[in-house]
Amino acid sequence: EVQLVESGGGLVKPGGSLRLSCAASGFPFNIAWMHWVRQAPGKGLEWVGRIKSKTDGGTTDYSTPVKGRFTISRDDSHNTLYLQMSGLNTEDTAVYFCTTDSTYFWGQGALVTVSS
Amino acid sequence: SYELTQPPSVSVSPGQTARIACSGDALPKKYASWYQQKSGQAPVLLIFEDDKRPSGIPERFSGSSSGTMATLTISGAQVEDEADYYCSSTDNNDDHWVFGGGTKLTVL
């Protein structure tokens, strides 16, 4: 059974940093392209960014609002995807989902609240 | 930046056909996907590559695309289909995903 489990969410002050994790199981994580998608309270889905598999170069792409502040990485030895967030502001408050490139599988989401 | 446009809301009676449109300039060249999201839950993939349905998705959900418009059709909508629906696609370089703003479907 495929599972994606996010962790690491919480309350952080403006300007602060936070790292989210997404533990994957049930599929060959090392060849999967993975994405982060977020959803602000009461708002729609917003793509955050993507990391390719290492065999495809392992490169990353980001949406304009997070580029330069967020970093996506992966640890294939532990089947884990990461989202390092820095320079957080109140507009980053959202539930963050990890998903596979097919978008067939999604995690349950991790809530990040940026507030003083 | 590239955008996909959806109507904010669609309303139908049970048993009627609901159609949700998604417009975007790159849709003639890029596939569209559709998602259903119920309150407090993760999105569920309904349609991929314009018109393909993953296993387990009821046949009443179908997708189509023509020109700059992709359409999700729910034939014989049920009360349980009340949810938010999102289209998504990629930009012309396939570097970035884009989601539509979402459509709230009411079935009553």
B33–A63: do the CB atoms touch at under 8 Å?
no
Of B37, B42, B97, the CB nearest to A47: B97
- Give B43's contacts in chain A (Cβ within 8 Å): 37, 45, 97, 103, 106
Q: What is the pLDDT of residues A72-83, one digit of tens each?
A: 999 999 999 999
Q: What is the pLDDT of residues B17-56, one digit of tens each?
A: 999 999 999 999 999 999 999 999 999 999 999 999 999 9
Q: Average pLDDT of A94-101? A: 97
Q: Chain A: give the shortest CA distance to residue B102, in Å.
A: 6
CA angle B34, B39, B40 (to 5 degrees): 105
For residue B94, pLDDT over 80 is answered with: no
| Cα–Cα distance measured from residue A48 to residue A46, given in angstroms and rounded to the nearest whole number | 6
Partner residues linked to A96 by β-bridges: A38, A110
pLDDT at residue A58, rounded to an integer? 97
Element (H, E) at B65: strand B61-66
pLDDT at residue A9, rounded to an integer? 97
CA angle A4, A6, A9 (to 5 degrees): 170
Chain B residue closest in CA terms to A6: B42
